[in-house]
Amino acid sequence: PEPFFYRIGDTFAPTRMANGFWGPKDNLHARVMIGLFAHVIEKQHGEPDLQPARLTVDLYRLPDLAPVTVATRLVRQGGRIKVVEAELFSGDVSSARASCQLLRRTQQPEAPIWSRPSWTVPPPEQIPPPETPFTEKWEMRPILPPAAVVAHDLRAPAPRRTCLREVRPLVGGAAYTRLSLV
C-alpha cells in the first residue's frame, strides 16, 4: 500500500493517506506526525542498547499536505539516559515539537516491581473485523463487551476497547521499528 510519506532528501512529502480529519482542508493527521517524529529520532539518535521510554509531542499548528522537515537536537547524553528534542516544520513554519527519552537497558532489580493487570483480550488476529471498515487508513477491530447485542457496532451502549493497526508504511521504503509504532 501507499505510504504516508515519501522521503525526498531531507524532506518528507505526505501522500493523500496522511490526511487528517480535523481541518476544513487538507492537513496532516496527528498520528502520522507523531510517527514521523519517532522515525526521525530513532534514525538519527537511536542505539541498539537504548530503549525508548517516553515520547511526548505537542501539536500546536495544523500543517497542510506540503512537504515537511524534522530537525532534532540532542539535549542530554549520559551513561543511562539520552534525551532528544525534535521540531516539525511545514515550509518555514513550526507546527509541532517532540521530546524523547531513551534509557539504557539494564538488569531488573530484585525488589518486587508493580505491573499492570493481565490483558484479557484475545490477540488481534482472533478479533473479527467489522463488517464495514471505518476507514482505509488503518485496520480497526472493535473489542465488544460480552453483553453487546449488535455485533461490531461501535455505537453499542457499553464500555469497549478497540485494536488499531497501521496497514501501510510510514515512510516509503522504511520498515516500522519499535519506536515508530508508538
DSSP symbols for 75-114: EEE-SSEEEEEEEEEETTEEEEEEEEEEEE--PPPSS---
Give the DSSP H or E segment for 45. helix 30-45
What was the pLDDT predicted at 182?
A: 47
What was the pLDDT predicted at 151?
A: 52
**Residue 129, number of CB atoms within 10 A of its CB:** 14
**Cell representation of residue 170:** 510510514
What was the pLDDT predicted at 152?
A: 53
Non-local CB neighbours of 132 within 8 Å, separated by 6+ positions: none
Give dist(CA 21, CA 134) in Å, integer: 13
Closest Cα partner for 33 from 90, 80, 84? Answer: 90
Q: Rounded mean pLDDT of 53-78?
A: 95
pTM (two decimals):
0.82
**Cell representation of residue 36:** 514521523
Q: Rounded mean pLDDT of 40-52?
A: 93
Asked whether 82 and 50 are in contact (CB, 8 A), the reply is yes
Give dist(CA 52, CA 38) in Å, integer: 9
User: Higher-confidence residue: 159 or 42?
Assistant: 42
Asked whether 10 and 69 are in contact (CB, 8 A), the reply is yes
User: Higher-confidence residue: 135 or 73?
Assistant: 73
Q: Average per-residue pLDDT in the chain?
A: 86
Which residue do the cell numbers 473479527 mark?
A: 128
